[in-house]
Amino acid sequence: MKLLADDLVPSIFGQVTPPAGMNFGGDDAMAGFGKLVGFGVRTFIVVASMFLLLYLLWGAFDWITSSGEKEKITKAQNKITNALIGFLLIFGVIVIFQIFAGNMLGIIKPTPEGWEFNLPVLK
């Protein structure tokens, strides 16, 4: 009975073939992981930069439309200050990550094709 089902089911419903998987790094899983993390970091930088620019422009717009009121000017200055602090934090995190993971530990090595991960192993 099982043989009959094995023959009939594909002929009635068709053959199901799985789609090709994500092949970021070829056969090397660590290279694929490095490219995936690199994509994530670049995406984070782009999204954070867009929010930073929007918040900075929002503060500038509030300053322009404050009509000289001290309270509105102070709120606008705080928005601009917070946007600049956010910029420094984003830049600082990237620099610290590169220094710590790249230069000190040697885990991440930037290559023209992406990032190469060398995770330490115990032998």
Q: What is the pLDDT of residues 27-70, one digit of tens each?
A: 666 667 777 777 888 898 889 999 999 999 999 999 999 998 99
Residue range of the domain that includes 59: 28-117
Question: Which residue has better confidence, 95 or 56?
Answer: 56
Radius of gyration over alpha carbons of the chain, in Å? 26
Contact (CB, 8 A) for 15 and 49: no
Between helix 29-64 and helix 70-97 the angle, nearest 10°, is: 160
Taking Cα atoms as reference points, which of 121, 120, 99 lies closest to residue 110?
Answer: 99
Our count of domains for the chain comes to: 1
CA pair distance 69, 75, nearest whole angstrom: 10
Q: Is the pTM of this model over 0.75?
A: no
63 is a domain residue: yes
105 is a domain residue: yes
Contact (CB, 8 A) for 102 and 109: yes
